[in-house]
Structure 1
Amino acid sequence: VSSKDDGCDDADPKCPQWAAEGECTSNAVWMMANCRKSCHSCQGGDKAWKLRTHIQANYHNISDGVTRIVRVESVRINNVEIDERKQNVKVFGRFVFSWNDTSISWDKNQWGLSWLNFYWIQIWTPQIVQLNGASTSNPGQVTSKVLAANYTGQVYLWADFSFTTPFRFQYENYPNDMQNVCFKFDDKRLLAVHFTVSDAVKSKEREATTEPFVSGWKVVDVEVKESPLSLEALSDPRRNSFDVQSDNCELCISLQRNAVYFTTEMLLPALVTSLFTLTSVFFQLSKTQPLLLSFSMVSQILSLIILSQRLPSFTAHTPTILKFAGFNLVMTATLFVVSLVLERLAGYSVEIPPPHSIDRFALIVDRFLPLPKDYIYMSLDDPRTGTEDAEGNVLVPVDENGAILPGQEKRFLKSPIIMVYVGISVFW
């Protein structure tokens, strides 16, 4: 509507100055009515202002003790701020609420208007507050932006909100973790409003989460949950009849960490070092094995340093990737020490044979995991026992049970020790 239309003029020459000073917001009712051109309140022309005056003269904003039903028609998420150090989440967005108020209905044929915008202090509106805020001094804010109604008395409210709440992050699946944060809200007048959710919001038709700004995270899902209790009782009398239901309605957001560095900085170092540790099993009693194990331990320590820089400063649960890295480092160090001990034992000059049980276990391991042998077990009656064949293999005499005979040469002790070590490695 242009300024030439009826009812779209400023009643005072100082209106442009007052509008520039922000009076259209701080003193909305008087400014919108008397400085229509400067405050851009010419929608509907003079008919709209006459209808507002008529409704205001006959409207009584007095609570009659009846619980009003307010429906969530739409929700939009604009921004999410996450502070893991303080364990705090803040969300910004916009709600669209609707409710029916027959006191403001009018005849559209008589007035020539189907829709009319209001100012929030003229008619009843829900006074929304957050219930699970981070502090009582800053419980979250809901600001009414647009308030409009059609001729049937159906009122629509567009409200911008900013909710903040403390949240205990779950780090078991870090860095591929998903967090579900819920913000509870209600009317400031308890038991005065019961919130419901429209089918379009439940079916995700009126949810806008396509391009919200979330640093390091991505919004996976947004859900608005209404209270399962009835209008007459917003508390559960089976638990506590004096405990008012604290989740009349809540906004829940599912967030997933955008861990693009997970594969290169966490997963690959863990898998490569594990491969080095497992490969060292095939280099028993050689200089290659301790070198592989020592290199694996150094690499794991370096990867743990990178991992510690990525992990949060504190957490109530140990991430799985950290459990795997710790287990891998402990087992690699244990295997490194065992390899040194067994290599040292294999070089001792002793004439005491190993126990028969260890010998049998070594033979079982040798059956499933054969290795290049320096010894060939021969029968005691074979005249070649105790000598070497053409390929340099020592022919070891054993009894009918497969055990090395007592009192044999000290070199016969080396093969069972190798087999025992292989058995420990395979078991790990």
Structure 2
Amino acid sequence: MKSSSATVLATIFALLAIAAGQQLSLSPASPLNSLDPCKYFENVTDTTQLSHHEFVAYEQCVYYFLASKAQKNSAKFGTVHPIATLPPTYAENAPSTVKVKIGQITLQHFQLNEFVKDLNIVGYMQVEWPDKRLAWDANQWRLDKLQIHSANHIWIPVLSSQAYETSLRNDDAMEVRKLEANSAGNVSAIVSFSLKTFCDDTDFRHFPDDVYKCCYQLEPHFNQELIEFGVDGQPVFTDPKYFRDYGWSVSGTVPTVNADPSVVSQLNFCINLQRSSSAVKIELAVPTWVCSIVFLFTPFMGKIRVQLSVKLFLLLLQFLTLQLFSNRIASHLGSASATPVLLAFHEFAMVMNTISIVASVLIWMLSRIKRTLPPWGWLIKASQIINRFICVFNSVDENDGAFELEKGGLPGESNPNSRYQSDWEGAFLAIHGVAVTALALVFIIGYIVIR
């Protein structure tokens, strides 16, 4: 009984509420008609006196006034909410194209994958375009700028980093923020982006001073035939508050647009990254230069055996340096087809040192062979000139240049065979000096060519 009574009472109250609502809605003198929020702002003369929530409501009134006006002017198109769905070219006396001006492009963060040579950048750019449907009388509304609180409320140019068929395939993303319109009908926005592209690694031969050139191309995603890009001539900037270089020197080019009206309007800009880590340069350059200088100074080491020992030790150092190169550069090789100049020069130095070792061993072995005939006269004279006037080569082993005594010979008597052997040793000493000097010159010329 109690439950049935409660049900009856609830039904009666519901019917009374419905009847009261119908009476209020049908009565022209109902106080609900006076609750139109925009009528509250009819006598506003100074918008700065409004509180925050009142100013937001006031902006909504201005927006809906403009949207209603655009709806009436575009009634012939039969489009719902045309101010958000139709481009500005559908406005009265509007031009046939929409000129979208790209302002400052600011880079906040980047991530470079040196193995696959791709670059992901995060930042934002300023975008402006005209829309006469969002123009109003500033004297009537006491308002110069109107903040649009949702990107769905007006038409915005949707951009993509590639052509329509392949757009967003690299997880590219864009987000429109801080939409504002002024009384003249110009709209501005901040477009945050996350873009990825593949870099040009042809400069990898200059590692560790190589430069990665990574270029981006923006196109309209929709209404491609209506949008024309424009730029203000400012290069790509880096945000000093959030940007970190991670050991790279980052510079951006000035954005450009294609001037051919027969193709889709495109915005192009590039990001150049140059390695600026001095520690890597020192780690790789110092061992190479040390090995090269020691190689050039081996002819000044005196005896052939001493020079040979130094060059063998130098070859060991070069192999250790090659292992250092492998550990430091192997992770960066990836798809690069070019060989770094530093590595190519080190390879050339190892080859030249090996040739010099072989030449020293052969000449030293030839000088140890016992001979019973004297060398040619011109060879004796040439070797004497070389060994006399180029003192750096005038160094022989203690036993090599001494006249040996035959067994059983008198100390005061000289052996002709020993004299011949001494002449041959002097000749080979001169030949060795000329050979290592020629290899040093070839080494210097090779460095100039490789560089």
TM normalised by structure 2 equals: 0.69
The reply on whether 1:335 has 2:356 as its aligned counterpart is: yes
From 315, 319, 325, give the equivalent of 1:297: 315
Q: Judging changes above 3 Å, is the alpha-carbon distance between structure 1 residues 313 and 180 closer, same or farther for their aligned structure 2 residues?
A: closer
Q: After superposition, give the CA deviation of every residue in 1:9-63 in whole Å (9 maximum; x if it has no partner).
A: xxxxxxxxxxxxxxxxxxxxxxxx9xxxxxx984833321110111122233424
Aligned to 1:175: 208
Query: Are the counterparts in 2 of residues 224 and 249 from structure 1 also a CA contact under 8 Å?
Result: no
The within-5 A match list for 1:53-64 is: 53-59=64-70, 60=82, 61-63=85-87, 64=89
Aligned to 2:249: 218
The DSSP-based 3-state class of the residue aligned with 2:205 is coil
Query: Are the counterparts in 2 of residues 280 and 292 from structure 1 also a CA contact under 8 Å?
Result: yes
Query: Where is the helix percentage greater, Structure 1 or Structure 2?
Result: 2
How far residue 135 of structure 1 moved from its aligned partner, in angstroms, is: 7.9
Percentage identity across paired residues of the two chains? 20
How far residue 305 of structure 1 moved from its aligned partner, in angstroms, is: 0.9
Aligned to 2:298: 280
- How many angstroms apart in 2 are the aligned matches of 1:349 and 1:260? 56
Aligned to 2:104: 74
The within-5 A match list for 1:166-205 is: 166-170=198-202, 171-189=204-222, 190-199=224-233, 201-202=234-235
- How many angstroms apart in 1 are the aligned matches of 2:382 and 2:388? 10
From 368, 372, 385, give the equivalent of 1:351: 372
Aligned to 2:196: 164
The structure whose Rg is larger is 2
Aligned to 1:123: 154
Q: Judging changes above 3 Å, is the alpha-carbon distance between structure 1 residues 83 and 208 closer, same or farther for their aligned structure 2 residues?
A: closer
Query: Are the counterparts in 1 of residues 205 and 341 from structure 2 also a CA contact under 8 Å?
Result: yes
Q: After superposition, give the CA deviation of every residue in 1:338-393 in whole Å (9 maximum; x if it has no partner).
A: 11111111111123455677667656755763346479xxxxxxxxxx99xxxxxx
How far residue 117 of structure 1 moved from its aligned partner, in angstroms, is: 1.2
Letter paired with 2:208: P
Aligned to 1:257: 275
The DSSP-based 3-state class of the residue aligned with 2:184 is coil
Letter paired with 1:92: V
- How many angstroms apart in 2 are the aligned matches of 1:252 and 1:83? 17
Query: Are the counterparts in 2 of residues 351 and 408 from structure 1 also a CA contact under 8 Å?
Result: no
Query: Are the counterparts in 2 of residues 195 and 226 from structure 1 also a CA contact under 8 Å?
Result: no
Letter paired with 1:179: Y
* Structure 1 spans left out of the alignment, 5+ residues: 1-32, 34-39, 235-243, 376-385, 388-394, 398-405
Q: After superposition, give the CA deviation of every residue in 1:50-81 in whole Å (9 maximum; x if it has no partner).
A: 10111122233424483311111211100010
Query: Where is the strand percentage greater, Structure 1 or Structure 2?
Result: 1
- How many angstroms apart in 2 are the aligned matches of 1:224 and 1:374? 64
> Over aligned residue pairs, what C-alpha RMSD do you find?
3.2
- How many angstroms apart in 1 are the aligned matches of 2:363 and 2:171? 65
Aligned to 1:7: none
Q: Judging changes above 3 Å, is the alpha-carbon distance between structure 1 residues 194 and 374 closer, same or farther for their aligned structure 2 residues?
A: closer
- How many angstroms apart in 2 are the aligned matches of 1:155 and 1:360? 92
Q: Judging changes above 3 Å, is the alpha-carbon distance between structure 1 residues 138 and 358 closer, same or farther for their aligned structure 2 residues?
A: same
- How many angstroms apart in 2 are the aligned matches of 1:361 and 1:182? 63
The DSSP-based 3-state class of the residue aligned with 1:414 is helix
Aligned to 1:412: 423
Q: Judging changes above 3 Å, is the alpha-carbon distance between structure 1 residues 407 and 299 closer, same or farther for their aligned structure 2 residues?
A: closer
Q: Judging changes above 3 Å, is the alpha-carbon distance between structure 1 residues 184 and 366 closer, same or farther for their aligned structure 2 residues?
A: farther
The reply on whether 1:152 has 2:184 as its aligned counterpart is: yes
The within-5 A match list for 1:203-242 is: 207-210=237-240, 212-219=243-250, 221-230=251-260, 232-234=261-263
After the TM superposition, which parts of structure 1 deviate over 6 Å for at least 4 consecutive aligned residues?
132-135
TM normalised by structure 1 equals: 0.73
Aligned to 1:48: 59
Query: Are the counterparts in 2 of residues 361 and 420 from structure 1 also a CA contact under 8 Å?
Result: no
The number of aligned residues is 348
- How many angstroms apart in 2 are the aligned matches of 1:367 and 1:196? 77
- How many angstroms apart in 1 are the aligned matches of 2:192 and 2:54? 22
